Chain A
Amino acid sequence: MLSKRIIACLDVRDGKLVKSVQFVDTKEVGDPVAAARSYYEDGIDELVFYDITASSDRRDIMIDVVSEVASQVFIPFSVGGGLRSVEDCGRVLAAGAEKVNLNTAAVENPELITEVSEAFGAQAVVLSMDVRKNDALAVLTSGYEIVTHGGRKPTGMDAVKWAIRGEKLGAGELVVNAIDTDGMREGYELILTRIISDSVSIPVIASGGGGHPEHLDEAFTLGGADAALVASMLHYGDYSVHDIKSYLDELGLPVRLT
C-alpha cells in the first residue's frame, strides 16, 4: 500500500536554512545540507528546498547546495524558488534534484508548466500554489485566492480553478500552501486541502500550519492529502520524523517506517 509521504520543507537564503512565519519574519536556523542529512537519517520521505535568495547573482550557491545534498541523501527531493525558465529547471535537475517547484513564475507564465513538463516529464513538475482565503471577491468561486511574491501580491485567480488548470498544463503534483496558517503551527487549512484534492487527480501536498503530529493525521484523513509538508515542528526540534511517523502508524495510517 502506498504510504502517506512526509516532506520536510527547507527554506534556503544565500545557502543558509531559514524559517519564516507567515512568509515575512525570517530567521536563520542552520545549514541546509546538515539538516537534510539529519532528516534523511531520521526517515523523512522526501525533501523540498525553497530558494528565497533575493538576488539572482547569488543563485549559484543553491546549485552547490543541491549537488551536495544529492551526493549524501538518497531519497527524492525537489527545488523551488527563482526558477523562471526551462534552463533554470534543467540546472537544478542536472545537479541532482528529482523535481522542480514552480510558483510565481507559473502564475505569470502558465506555459512554463507545459514547457518544463514536456522537457523533463510531468513527474518532475510540482506546481506550488500560495493561497489565501478571500470571501470578498465574487470571481473567487471557491473563496480562495492565489497570491504571489511570498503572499504579498493578490492575483484575482481562484485557487481551485488554478489547480485544475495546472494539472491540465502538465503539473505532476500540487503543493497547496495556505498563507493564513503558514508558520502558525495550529494545523493545516483542511477545507482548502480537501476541495483541491477532490478537484484534481494528481497527488496533493498539504502545506502551511503543521505543528503537531495530529495535524498530519487531519491533513491525510480530513484534507485528503497524499503528502504533507513539515517545517517548524522539525526545525525547532519539537518532534522528530520518527515521532510523527510512530504517531501516524499507531492510528493505522500507511507510513514508511525505517
Chain B
Amino acid sequence: MTARVGVIDYGCGNLKSVANAVRYVGAEPKLVTAPYQINQHSHIILPGVGAFGAASETLRNTGFEEALQQLHAEAQVPILGICLGMQLMCSYSEEGGKYEGFGWFDAQVIPIDVGTSALKVPHMGWNSLSIQRETEFEGLHGLTEKSDVYFLHSYCVNCSDSSDIVATTTHGSEFTSVFSKGIIWGVQFHPEKSQITGLNFLKAFTRIGQD
C-alpha cells in the first residue's frame, strides 16, 4: 500500500521540496491545510523554517497543535519533524525568549554554541552524523557516519534523556541531530535536501508500518 503522507502546512514556508522528495521515494504527499484533515494520512511530516515562537503560536491558534497532540497520544501514526518541526517536539525553546513546545521529548532548544571558534552561525551546509544507537525501525537506513546531510539552523536540540538520541552532529559543540521515540522522529537536517542519504531516510520513514 502506498503511504499517504500528510505534510502540515501552517504557513511556515515552502513545502514543495518536502512534497517533491516524498513523491520521489514512492509515497503520496498531501498538504494538510486544516487540523481536521490530520487523520486522513498514514504518516505525518511536520516541516518548518523560521522562528520557534511564531511557529508555535500559529500552530496553537490554528488548532494544529491540539490535533497533533491527539495524534501523538493515539500513537498509531508515525510523525517526523524536520528542522524547526523537530524543535517544536521539544519541551521548550530559548529562541527569542522562552516558548513551550509540544513536550514529546525531554529536550531544550538552545543557541548553537561555537565558542571562540571562527565557525559561523547559522550552521549551514553539509555536515556528518555521529550515530549513537540502532533503532527498531529501518529509519536509520541510509544514515551512516560517512554520509553528510544538509543543515540550516541557528538553534539546536539538547536532549535531557540520552536514550532518545539517535545521532549527534558537531558544529563548535555537539547537538542532537536525530532523535526518536517509537514511531516519533525528529531530524535537524533537511532530508529533502540531502541527496540520496536524505531520500533513503524519507523512504524508510514512509515505510514504517507499511510492510
Contacts and interface: CB of A to CB of B under 8 A. Distances in A.
Q: Determine if chain A interacts with chain B.
A: yes
Interface of A: 1-3, 5, 40, 43, 45, 70-71, 74-76, 93-96, 98, 120-121, 123, 172-173, 201-203, 226-227, 256-258
A76 B150 contact: yes
Contacts of A121: 13, 49-50
A226 B125 contact: yes
Contact of B147 (A202, A227, A258): A258
Given A5-B125, A45-B126, A258-B147, A95 B16 contact: yes
B148 A256 contact: yes
Given A94-B14, A123-B152, A258 B125 contact: no
B13 A1 contact: no
B163 interface: no
Most chain A CB neighbours (cut-off 10 Å) among B23, B122, B125? B125
B98 interface: no
Contact of B17 (A40, A96, A202): A96
Nearest to B127: A2
Contact of B123 (A2, A45, A256): A2
Contacts of A98: 17, 193
Contact of A226 (B13, B14, B120): B120
Contacts of B193: 74-76, 98
B147 to A, nearest CB: 7
11 contacts: A1-B127, A3-B148, A5-B125, A74-B17, A74-B24, A74-B194, A75-B150, A76-B152, A203-B120, A227-B125, A258-B147
Contact of B128 (A1, A74, A123): A1
B26 to A, nearest CB: 14
Contact of B21 (A74, A76, A257): A74
B128 to A, nearest CB: 7
Nearest to B199: A74
Contacts of A70: 16-17, 20
Interface in B170-211: 170-171, 192-196, 198-199
A1 B170 contact: yes
Most chain B CB neighbours (cut-off 10 Å) among A45, A98, A256, A258? A256
B119 interface: yes
A3 B170 CA distance: 12
Interface of B: 13-14, 16-17, 20-21, 23-24, 49-50, 119-120, 122-128, 146-148, 150, 152, 170-171, 192-196, 198-199
Residues of A contacting B: mostly? loop
Contact of A123 (B124, B126, B147, B199): B124
A2 B195 contact: no
Nearest to A4: B125
Contact of B126 (A5, A94, A95, A172): A5
B195 A3 contact: no
Contacts of B119: 2
Contacts of B199: 74
A2 B126 contact: yes
Nearest to A93: B14
Given A3-B126, A94-B16, A257-B146, 4 more contacts: A2-B171, A40-B195, A96-B20, A202-B120
Nearest to B152: A123
A164 B20 CA distance: 36
Contact of A201 (B20, B120, B127): B120
Which 7 pairs show the lowest CB-CB distances between chains A and B?
A: A256-B148, A3-B126, A256-B126, A96-B16, A71-B20, A2-B127, A2-B125
Nearest to B193: A76
Contacts of A2: 119, 123, 125-127, 171
Contacts of A173: 124
Contact of B195 (A94, A227, A258): A258
A137 to B, nearest CB: 31
Contacts of B49: 121, 123
Most chain B CB neighbours (cut-off 10 Å) among A3, A74, A76? A74
Nearest to B20: A71
A118 to B, nearest CB: 11
A227 B150 CA distance: 14
A252 to B, nearest CB: 15
Contacts of B14: 93-94, 96
A117 B59 CA distance: 23
